[in-house]
Chain A
Amino acid sequence: MNIDKRKYPDPQYVSRAPKSNSSQKSNRQTKNTNKPSAKLSQPPLTTQGSITPANLIHRVMSKMAFGPNDETLNHIQNLPGATEMDRVLAYIDEQLNPQNIDDSVVDTMLNQGFETLNKTQQQFFQQHVHIPGGEDIPWQVHIQPGRETIYAAFIRGINSKRQLLEMMADFWHNHFNVYMDGDNIQPMFVHYDRDVIRPQALGNFRTMLYQVTRSNCMLSYLGNGVNEQSAPNENYARELLELHTISAQNYYGHMNWQDVPTDGEGRRMGYVEADVLELARALTGWSFSGASWQDYQYLYPPITIPPTPIDLSQAPTGLFMFRPDWHDQGIKRVMGTDFIYESNHPEKDVNDILDMLAEHPATAHFLAFKLCRRFIADDPSPQIIDSVATSLHQNWQSPIQIKLAMEVLLKSSDFLNSWGEKIKRPFEKSISALRQIKYTFDFNPTNEYSGWHHWEFQDSGQPPFGWTSPNGYPDVKSHWLGASSTMSTWKFIQWTAQFTDGENNNIPFNQILQITTEALPANQRTANGIVNFWYERACGIFPDSNTQDKLAQFMAYDNFEEPADNDRNTPIDINNNDWPAYNQDRLYAVVSTLFLTAEFSYR
Chain B
Amino acid sequence: MKNINRRKFLKGSGMVTVAGMGGLQLGFANTMLKGGSGGSGRDLLVYVFLNGGMDGLNMVPPRSGNDYTEYSTNLRPNLHIPNSISLALNGQNAFGMHPSATGMANLFNNDKMAIVHATGLVDANRSHFEATRFIELGAQGVSNLGSGWLTRYFNSSLHTPDDAVMPSIVPSYNNTDAVLGDPTALVMANPQEFSLSNGHWAWGGYMQDILGEIYTSPSSLEQLVGHQTLNASSIIQSIDWDNYTPGNNAAYPAGFFGDQMRTVAQLYKNEVDLEVAYVPTGGWDTHVGQGTGTTGQFADLAAELSAGLYAFYQDLSASHNGKFTIIVQSEFGRRAYENSDRSTDHGYGNPMFVIGDHVNAGFYGQFPGLAPNQLFEDGDVEATVDYRDVVSEVLIKRHQNRFLGYIFPNYSDYTPLGLINGTDLSPIYEVNYDPLFANGFD
For residue B31, which residue of chain A has the nearest CB? A40
Residue of B nearest to A20 (CB): B201
Over the window 290-311 of chain A, the binary record of Cβ atoms lying under 8 Å from chain B Cβ atoms (1 yes, 0 no) is 0000000000000000000000
Which chain B residues have a beta carbon within 8 Å of chain A's beta carbons? Answer: 1, 12-16, 22-23, 25-29, 31-32, 37, 51-52, 127-129, 133, 137, 143-146, 162-163, 165, 173-175, 177, 180-189, 194-215, 217-235, 237-238, 256, 272-273, 282-283, 285, 287
- A57: CB under 8 A from chain B? no
B12 near A46: Cβ-Cβ < 8 Å:
yes
| Other-chain contact of A588, B182, B200, B282 (Cβ < 8 Å) | B200
In-complex Cβ contact of A482 among B22, B207, B209, B225 (8 A) = B225
Say whether A19 faces chain B, with CB atoms less than 8 Å apart.
Answer: yes
Is A469 close to B, CB under 8 A?
A: yes
Main secondary structure of the interface of A (DSSP, over half): loop
Q: A480-B183, A560-B203 are in contact. Are A32 and B144 (CB under 8 A)?
A: no
Cβ contacts A to B, 10 pairs, < 8 Å: A11-B173, A31-B212, A468-B180, A469-B180, A474-B146, A476-B23, A479-B181, A480-B183, A482-B225, A602-B222
Q: Which residues of A contact B13 (CB under 8 A)?
A: 46
- Give B269 Cβ to nearest chain A Cβ, in Å: 13
Given known contacts A483-B184, A598-B220, is B51 in contact with A589 (CB within 8 Å)? no
A residues 429-488 touching B (CB-CB < 8 Å): 458-459, 461, 468-471, 474, 476-487
B51 nearest CB across to chain A (Å): 6
B-side interface mostly: loop
Q: Given A46-B12, A483-B229, are A238 and B143 neighbors across the interface (CB < 8 Å)?
A: yes
- The smallest beta-carbon distance between A139 and chain B, in angstroms, is 15
Interface centre among A39, A46, A458, A487 (most CB of B within 10 A): A487
CB distance from A380 to the nearest CB of B (A): 12
Q: What 0/1 pattern do residues 150 to 167 of A give for CB contact below 8 A with B?
A: 000000000000000000
Question: Looking at the complex, which of A92-100, A110-118, A515-523, A549-557 is the stretch in contact with chain B?
Answer: A549-557
In the complex, which residues of chain A have a beta carbon less than 8 angstroms from the beta carbon of B213?
550
- Do A470 and B218 form a contact, CB below 8 Å, given A379-B14, A598-B223? no
Query: Does the CB pair B231–A38 fall under 8 Å?
Result: yes
Answer yes or no: A25 CB below 8 A from chain B CBs.
Answer: yes
A487 to B37, CA, bound (A): 26
Please measure, in the bound complex, the distance between the C-alpha atom of A597 and the C-alpha atom of B14, giving whole angstroms.
Answer: 22
Kindly identify which residue among B29, B146, B183, B222 contacts A47, using a CB–CB cutoff of 8 Å: B222
Q: Which residues of B contact A30 (CB under 8 A)?
A: 195, 205, 208-209, 237
Q: Indicate whether A50 reaches chain B with its CB closer than 8 angstroms.
A: yes
Bound CA–CA A30/B197 (angstroms) = 11
| Interface-central residue, A4, A22, A40, A239, by most chain B CB under 10 Å | A40
Q: Does A212 contact B (CB under 8 A)?
A: no
- Least CB separation from B221: chain A residue: A44
From known contacts A248-B144, A597-B214, infer whether A45 and B228 are also in contact, taking CB-CB under 8 Å.
no
- With A47-B220, A554-B210 in contact, is A589–B199 under 8 Å at CB? yes
Contact check, A7 vs B144: say whether CB atoms are below 8 A apart: no
Q: Contact: A22 with B201, CB < 8 Å? A: yes
In whole angstroms, how far apart are the Cα atoms of A31 and B238 in the complex?
11
Q: Is the CB of A586 within 8 A of B25?
A: no
Whether the Cβ atoms of B222 and A481 lie closer than 8 Å is yes
| A51 and B220 contact, Cβ closer than 8 Å, known pairs A44-B28, A481-B183, A593-B210 | yes
CB distance from A290 to the nearest CB of B (A): 16
CB distance from A203 to the nearest CB of B (A): 26
Docked-complex contact B32 and A474, CB < 8 angstroms: no
Choose one: A9, A474, A484, A551; the contact of B185 (CB below 8 Å).
A484
Apart from A20-B200, A478-B183, 13 more pairs, CB < 8 Å: A29-B205, A31-B212, A44-B218, A50-B220, A183-B129, A478-B16, A481-B221, A487-B195, A487-B196, A491-B197, A550-B210, A582-B203, A589-B200
Chain A contacts with B in 158-196, Cβ cutoff 8 A: 182-183
Contacts of B27 in A (CB 8 A): 477-479, 481-482
